Structure 1
Amino acid sequence: MHLLNIRRCIFLIVADNSIIKDLFMIRHYSLFLLIIIFSIILSISKISAQNQYFFDIYTTRALELASEFRFEKAREQVNISKSLNSKANIPIWVENYIDFIYLLNSEDDKQYQNLKNSKKIRLKWLESGDQNSPYYRYCLGHFHFQWAIIHLKFKDYYTAFKEANTAYRLLEKNYRLYPQFPPSLSALGVLHVFVGSVPDQYNWIKNLLGYKGTVEQGLSELETALEESMQNNDLFWLEKETVFYLSFIYINLDKGKEKSLSFRNKYLSQKDIELEKLDPIQAFAFSKVSLFTGRNDEVIRILRSRKFYPDQTEFTFLDYLLANAYQNKLSDSCLIYYDKYLSYPTVKNFKKSSLQRKAWQYLIKEDREEYYLLMKQVLKTGQEEVDADKQAHFAATKGIIPNVLLLKSRLLFDGGYYNQALNLLLENKDKLNTLPIIEQTEYHYRLGRIYDETHNLVMAKLEYHKAIELGKALPQYYAANASLMMAMIYEKQHQYPLARHHYKMCMDMPFEEYRNSITQKAKIGMERTKKMK
């Protein structure tokens, strides 16, 4: 069968099942900001003598305003540029970029339907550009990539797949034609990380479509792009977006806490930047690193001090992050920010999680009546797209009431307050035998996580093993994540067969909570260690 026909068959096959959803949900909500910065790659450079690809002061300013979530002023600047440069492609691309960020932030269904009508007109304009410019396929590739993410966000998985496929072809061809074009290296780095993260059961699609790339390859390309951009002042725009890519990837693909933190701190030092007064996207990236590395007070400091403009649209997800950070301190201040996040009318993701977390806070306050009321609301609010919302819905459906002791320990651990979390567990060890099997599993898992983070690996492995044995058949995530953590310990100790054994054990367990993110990390670990003895 001709390769083109094979590809058409694949499109017909996947149109009626969940494969495309699974592929794209690998790294759920956090793709939001990753792709925003991905779009900036085309922004503020002095790029081409062709009028079609000239960034004037208005499109440059529009991109700056859009990255600050000041959408109305950004659109005003684009309209000025369009009136002055009737043959230019860049204002059209920037206009799409502004709408792209707006849709991902707002999750507004009505605006999504309205803006889809502009898509064909903009695409036709971009296709009329100078095909001899490296920015021709680059602009088109980013346009299709943006729309892939938009369609994914609004659950049009088949169209999202087609758009992503087109973007991949355009960017790969552009790199072959212009291998010394630095932005291509950064863009392909992100795509290669994504391709390398595709679960094994979908490799047949990847192979038939000719997708190639690994996580390590993508990281290497991004690191090279960052190094080159930092040595060239004209590529400052490429530097900013690549910093975001790497921050995101180190966190979500388990490159390591030490790596993500040292990367961030080295960059801040080189640029002489403080953690206060960051723009919204920087605040998101660097606060995520802080949260990932157990620096909860730093998260609050970054998010509370971030830049804010009177005409700025709220960056909705930052309120959810700030609420989580306050809850990690067991502070009732979290309720203020959960309420604020829940008040955004068009936002759908993380609403179930916000209600569940509000319920937790009331449970900690010993208000069980409010806890039950909030958990009932979980069932009829938001949607089940991201793992946090799926877990919240699962808990509400099953009528699960967390053990308050274990809940407090979890939250303190998430905030990096390890000594407090450990003391809380050890002081109540005598109650362990009276707990249900689920809570015994969680107890050992929590101890394992604390010992792991405080570098007591002997005790960590002991507690992880207990959690695995007790919970390997449960739908909760404790045993699976314990197996994942054990695998990582063995990998660091160069005991690769044991690491692979535990990565596979993690993927094979029948757990339901946080399944996407946990099994994805295990898959990447298997890839990392498969050739090591």
Structure 2
Amino acid sequence: MHRIINKWIGVFVYPFFILFFSPVAQTQEADFDSIYKTTLDLAFKKSSLLLKQTQPNDIPFGELYIANLNDVLELIFSENEARYEQLKQNEANRIRLLKNAGDNSPYVGFIEGEIKLQWAFVKLKFGNTLSGVWSLRSAYKTVKDNIKAHPEFTLNYKTMGLLQVIFGAVPDNQRWILNILGLEGDVKNGLAQLKTLAEAPTPFAIEATLISSMIESYLLEEHEVALTTLKNNASTDKTMSEVYITALILMKAHKAQEAAIILREALDKPATNTPLLFEYLLAEALFQGGNYGQAKTHYLTYISQFQGRNQLKDSRMKVAMCEYFLGKNASFKRYWEEAIQTTGATSEADKNAEALLQAGSLPNFKLLQIRYAIDGGYYKLANRTISRLDLATLTSAETHEVTYRKARLFHLTNDYEQALALYEEVVSNTEQLPETYLAPNAYLQMGYIKMELNEKKAAELYFKKVLEFKKHPYKNSLDSKAKIALSTLYASGD
């Protein structure tokens, strides 16, 4: 189960920690607002100092939450092992303070559950899998008890809704673990709880709306809905954490060029609190658009300064690819070998890099160039590269991959008729594509198109086809998306 949970760490759950108190900050005194915004701006030392000087009391035990958020965000963005050893005891200390407070406020259980939830993902990120999963279970039990004691406290359903979505996304072949741990998940119910909170007359309505939009983007692939929500709820002066969230969704929505603009603006600010992860994300956006010289610079900055392990293998591989596309064969070979020797981490990017690096032979870099261009929304670059391919030199599997890439281009440019025809061509050759994600993802994308066209029976058929594939690199991810799509397919009651 930890593999599917780890999937959410960098791109799904952590952004919610960043947003958690944003609507509340609008109603607090200046001191509380100042501390909170400093935390969101990822200025961790300054935030800790301000918290010592001012004890905000507008929200019961709010100072514990802010202090915990400060620790959690610092560890998530830095991945500093030594700092993790220094800070990890704070979880138990804060929970002890809450339990000894003798206060019947619903905020006690609520904040306790949030502290456990946040540290669960930190533990998973630092490789403490069993402890992390157990903390998730403890957070679930705490919130469930708080719901029983304070059913009228609507913030309970924000936390429980998020946990429901996370557990509901666990693939069927791993759900036995949830049963053993006494955990229940249902994406549809989780989304409904979050959306109910978003419509309620509470300061947390905006935050719940933002969480729902993240789920729409990352689980349902309804990126434009998510971006519209972000735009409608955007602040005039974005903190570093808000830039991070916006950039993530833009890149997920195939809008890497727009993501690059806001990331560059953040990095150009005369501040010391911009996380190194921004260097990596900007490098990714530039790499997808074929700006290999600039991308290389940002990848190397990330590699030379980052104190964690994630994305380092992928970054070195991408630097090698930049050199390849720039015609620098000697340095390409050196960086490619360095990437092979780099110990990979838990990130999906590193796992993908590992598969390419250990394939036994070099990949077809032109096909990778097409893939990355499509991912970033650089459709003209992708089309131009496809038109220059010598199809006669491609293997059978590579020819089918080109068909799949063309289908993606037609799909993303809203030519559903052409996209469906090419997706059908891909799945009709499933036997020639063993253990690749092309056929199952083609079925998934056809399902999404049929959903868009309100052809629910056809969509259901395609989503079920995704689940029939036994082995491929993205099985957990694609199975989860297909399962979630099936659970929401008839939500309107049609």
TM-score by length of 2: 0.89
Q: Which residue of 2 aligns with 1:34?
A: 15
Separation of aligned partners in 1, 2:70 and 2:40: 9
Question: Match of 2:146, as an amino acid?
Answer: N
Q: Which amino acid aligns with 2:112?
A: L
CA distance in 2, matches of 1:221, 1:286: 23
The structural deviation recorded for 1:160 is 1.0
Query: For residues 390-401 of structure 1, what are the structure 2 equivalents within 5 Å?
Result: 390-401=351-362
2:70 pairs with one of 98, 123, 127: 98
2:339 is aligned with 1:373: no
Which residues of structure 1 form unaligned runs of 5+?
Answer: 1-18, 47-54
Instruction: Please tell me whether residue 65 in structure 1 is matched to residue 38 in structure 2.
Output: yes
- Report matched runs for 1:204-215 at 5 Å: 204-207=176-179, 209-215=181-187
Instruction: State the SS of the aligned residue for 1:181.
Output: coil
> How far is the alpha carbon of 1:353 from its aligned partner?
1.5
The answer to whether 1:259 aligns with 2:225 is: yes
Partner of 1:528: 488
SS in 1 for 2:397: helix
Q: Tell me the residue number matched to 1:463.
A: 422
Choose from 356, 370, 375 the match for 2:317: 356
Structure 1, residues 362-389: CA drift from partner, whole Å, max 9, x if none? 2222333333322222223242412211
Deviations 1:46-99 (A, max 9, x none): 7xxxxxxxx8765553332111111111111222246x99xx844344322211
Deviation of 1:527 after TM superposition, in Å, equals: 2.8
Aligned length, in residue pairs: 489
Determine if contact 1:43/1:63 at 8 Å carries over to the other structure: no
- Structure 2 residue identity aligned to 1:380: Q
1:193 to 142, 165, 185: 165
CA drift at 1:489: 2.0
The Cα shift of 1:398 comes to 1.2
- Does the CA contact (< 8 Å) of 1:38 and 1:187 recur in 2? no
Given that 1:352 and 1:392 are in contact with CA atoms closer than 8 Å, whether structure 2 keeps it comes out as: yes
Instruction: Check if 1:127 corresponds to 2:99.
Output: yes
RMSD value, Cα: 3.0
The answer for the alignment partner of 1:327 in structure 2 is: 287
Name 2:80's counterpart in structure 1: 108
Paired amino acid for 1:78: L
SS at match of 1:25: helix
The equivalent of 1:181 in structure 2 is 153
The Cα shift of 1:498 comes to: 3.8
CA distance in 2, matches of 1:118, 1:203: 31
Alignment match, 2:305: 344
Query: Residue type of the partner of 1:119?
Result: E
How many Å separate the matches in 1 of 2:217 and 2:313? 23
Contact 2:317 2:339 in 1 (8 A): yes
1:410 to 358, 371, 378: 371
Give, in angstroms, the shift of residue 486 of structure 1.
1.9
Asked if the contact 1:141–1:170 (Cα under 8 Å) also holds between the matched residues in 2, the reply is: yes
Superposed displacement of residue 210, structure 1: 4.6
Q: Is the 8 A contact 1:68 1:312 kept in 2?
A: no
Residues 493, 92 of structure 1: alpha-carbon distance in 2 compared, 3 angstrom cutoff: closer
| Residue 181 to residue 25, structure 1, CA distance change in 2 (3 Å) | same
Q: Which runs of 5+ in 2 are unaligned?
A: none
For the 8 Å contact 2:7–2:348, the answer to whether it is kept is no
Distance (Å, rounded) in 2 between the aligned partners of 1:79 and 1:312: 21
Deviations along 1:206-230, one digit per CA (max 9) or x if unpaired, are: 345553442222223223323336x
- Contact 1:26/1:516, CA 8 A, preserved across alignment: no
What is the CA-CA distance between 1:395 and the residue it aligns to? Answer: 0.8
**How many angstroms apart in 2 are the aligned matches of 1:45 and 1:163?**
31
Q: Which of 366, 391, 401 is equivalent to 1:432?
A: 391
**8 A contact 1:296–1:416 mirrored in 2:** yes
* Pair 343,511 (structure 1): closer, same or farther in 2 beyond 3 Å: farther
After superposing the two structures, state which structure 1 stretch, 344-353 or 399-408, moved more.
399-408
Give the secondary-structure state (helix, strand or coil) at the position aligned to 2:238.
coil
Q: In the alignment, which of 211, 214, 231 is matched to residue 245 of structure 1?
A: 211
- Percent of residue pairs bearing the same amino acid type: 24
For the Cα contact (< 8 Å) 2:267–2:278, is it kept in 1? no
Quote how far apart the aligned CAs of 1:497 are.
4.5
Matched, 1:76 2:59: no
Cα drift, residue 200 of structure 1: 1.2
- One-letter amino acid matched to 2:43: R
Q: Is the 8 A contact 1:352 1:382 kept in 2?
A: yes
Offset at residue 281 of structure 1 (A): 1.6
* Structure 1 residue 284: Cα displacement: 1.7
Contact 2:161 2:193 in 1 (8 A): yes
Q: 1:300-331: per-residue Cα shift (whole Å, max 9, x none)? A: 22212238765543322222211111112201
Change (3 A) 1:41 1:200: farther
- Superimposed CA distance per residue, residues 85-122 of structure 1 (whole angstroms, 9 cap, x where no aligned partner): 9xx84434432221111111111112212222333333
Q: Distance in 2 between matches of 1:404 and 1:89?
A: 54
- The question of whether the paired residues in 1 share the 8 Å contact of 2:450 and 2:458 is answered with yes
**2:72–2:122 contact (8 Å) kept in structure 1:** yes
Distance 1:455 1:505, change over 3 A: same
Question: Does residue 433 of structure 2 align to residue 452 of structure 1?
Answer: no
Is residue 218–residue 252 contact of structure 2 (8 Å, CA) maintained in 1?
no
* Matching residue of 1:170: 142
Q: Distance in 1 between matches of 2:478 and 2:254?
A: 19
Task: Give the residue type in structure 1 aligned to 2:485.
Answer: G
Residues 81, 308 of structure 2: 8 Å contact kept:
no
The answer to whether the 8 Å contact 1:387/1:513 transfers is: no
Q: Give the distance between the partners of 2:157 and 2:267, measured in 1 at CA.
A: 31
Structure 1 contact 25–516 (Cα < 8 Å) conserved: no
Map 1:211-226 to 2 at 5 A.
Answer: 211-226=183-198
